[in-house]
Structure 1
Amino acid sequence: MIESFTPETWLIVTMFGVAILTGFIDSIAGGGGLVMMPALLAAGLPPHLAIGTNKLQSVFGTSTACWSYWRGGLVEIRRNLPLVGLVFFGSAIGAILIQQISAGVLAYIVPVFLIALAGYVIFSPRMTDNDAHERLSRKSYAPVAGTISLYDGFFGPGTGQFFTASLVGLRGQGLTRATANAKLFNATTNWAAVIVFTLGGKMVWLLGLAMAAGAMIGGFIGSRFAMRHGAKLIRPLMIVASLGLTGKILWDLLAA
């Protein structure tokens, strides 16, 4: 029976498994897109279809993780509604832009972002579950959230890490709570991007929905792990994800 599987079936089964892994990583440390995107491109999808289909699977994973964190009492939806509206709009603008212009320049910028993020996670004493004094108010944080959401709609890998690190460093949130609220923003930016990419016809639905099922499984498991183990799990995984994914991007640049 296995021998009767078509190449398309094997692709769906393989990407379903990859999505479980990336959903798990994304729900805890972010950066799952930097595993999924090369996999989609290696499968032969054109860049815009790869980005759109990745958003489709990612939105289910981030939404599942957000729901799980909300059930755990860590997501502050009502207090963050203005920021939710802002990041939705920012991501939609970014998704429109990426369909008009090349994202090649971002391949040189993203490694710098991720290396800086990894250094911050490694050396900052603030990356714990203890809340600290906020450096920016929720209103003052809006430009930061808007910039991250624009990036997510335009390209996306590392967005969850950027939201988490900025909520810890600028809003003074403990790492687990910051991770939970980052999923609220990341799920919102993903939904905005999915709508725009769908309207633009940049989506492979059967593959994307199969991956979405895997991402939901990984997102649920990962969020439960994070709530159980807190910063002692999230911090090391963020470091490994940041350095590992940065190395992958740099390797691809050198090999190009």
Structure 2
Amino acid sequence: MFEIATELALLLILAAFCAGMVDSIAGGGGLITVPALLLAGASPVEALATNKLQGTFGSATAMATYARSGHVRPLDQLGMAAVAAAAGAAGALVAHLIPVEVLRIIMPVVLIGVALFFALKPGLTDDARAARISPAVFGLTVVPLVAAYDGFFGPGTGSFYMMGFVLLAGYGVLKATAHTKMLNFASNLGSLLVFLPLGATWWAVGLAMAAAQVCGAALGARLAIRIGAGLIKPLLVVVSTAMAVRLLWQAMA
């Protein structure tokens, strides 16, 4: 039934549920699922392709949950989503040109900066602030940069989107979280379309993980909507720090 032993597949399904819940609140679900897939015996390409398959379902579920609650209007983000999808695909296409070792050194520093920003900056609530750049400039600068990064590497994508929305677009924490999901979905989808022709996707495992991602993402988004910045900020700090530690450990291994 599965491409791997059933007991390993069940562990991956559990990992996907946890990842969906965490990702829908603070981003960073790939920190859970990609290492789990590698430990289950997937090659790096198989792990990335399968992760994009199941992650696309999770981000779509989180997006729909936030939209139903009125925290985001997906139709208003179609332009940015198109940019994110194209940039995600481009990132996946050039993945082999970027030395992963370089990213593993740079990204922990950036992620620690994200964690410190959300942990120490006062006044980060669900209330909106004045925007520093226009939506058009945001869509042509921040969105393609983060989406391309998502296509060729991935950890921390949701955190980077959220920081951009809070710091540059002036969004409150909950609104920023809601608005990251369609862009995350789009960049996931764009990179997935690049991976599919490679034939590296574990379809049975990936779809089972996708079902678990849907459940986890729906639960996580509902918790974020109910609690708001009081849940999102500390979890974002924890997830960003954990990703930084994980990448540093990999770089030094």
Whether TM-score is above 0.5 comes out as yes
Matches of 1:14 and 1:52 in 2, distance apart?
18
Alignment partner, residue 40 of structure 1: 37
CA distance, structure 2, for counterparts of residue 150 and residue 106 of structure 1: 13
CA change 1:18–1:110 in 2 (3 A) is same
Structure 2 CA distance, aligned partners of 1:82 and 1:6? 37
User: 1:43 & 1:107 partners in 2: Cα distance?
Assistant: 22
Q: Deviations over 1:122-167 (max 9, x none)?
A: 1222521000000111011121111000000111111011111110
Q: CA RMSD in A?
A: 1.7
Aligned AA (1:87) = A
Q: Does 1:122 align with 2:122?
A: no
5 Å-filtered alignment, 1:125-204, equals 125-141=122-138, 142-204=140-202
Give matches, 1:11-160, under 5 Å. Answer: 11-98=8-95, 102-141=99-138, 142-160=140-158
Find the aligned partners of 1:41 and 1:101 in 2 and give their Cα distance.
20
- Tell me if the contact between 1:48 and 1:99 (Cα under 8 Å) persists in the aligned partners: no
SS of equivalent residue, structure 1 residue 139 = helix
Tell me the alpha carbon deviations over residues 75-99 of structure 1, each in whole angstroms, 9 at most, x when there is no partner: 1323222111111110010111125
Contact 1:126 1:168 in 2 (8 A): no
The answer on whether the counterparts of 1:29 and 1:160 sit within 8 Å (CA) in structure 2 is: yes
Is the CA contact (8 Å cut-off) linking 2:27 and 2:157 kept in structure 1?
yes
Q: Deviations over 1:224-252 (max 9, x none)?
A: 00000000000010011111221122122
**Counterpart Cα distance in 1 of 2:243 and 2:97:** 26
Consecutive unaligned residues of structure 2, counting only runs of 5 or more, are none
What TM-score, normalized by structure 1, do the two folds share? 0.93
- Helix, strand or coil: the match of 1:105? helix
Higher mean C-alpha displacement, 198-207 vs 221-230: 198-207
CA distance in 1, matches of 2:68, 2:95: 34
Q: What code does the residue aligned with 1:71 have?
A: R
Q: TM-score, normalised by structure 2?
A: 0.94
Percent sequence identity over matched residues? 40
Runs of 5+ consecutive residues of structure 1 not aligned to the other structure? none
- Report if aligned partners of 2:23, 2:29 keep a CA contact under 8 Å in 1: yes
Which of residues 201, 211, 224 is equivalent to 1:226? 224
Secondary structure at the residue paired with 2:100?
coil
What SS does structure 1 have at the residue aligned with 2:94? helix
Name the CA distance, whole Å, in 1 between partners of 2:98 and 2:242: 28
Deviations 1:188-224 (A, max 9, x none): 1111111111122231111111111111110000000
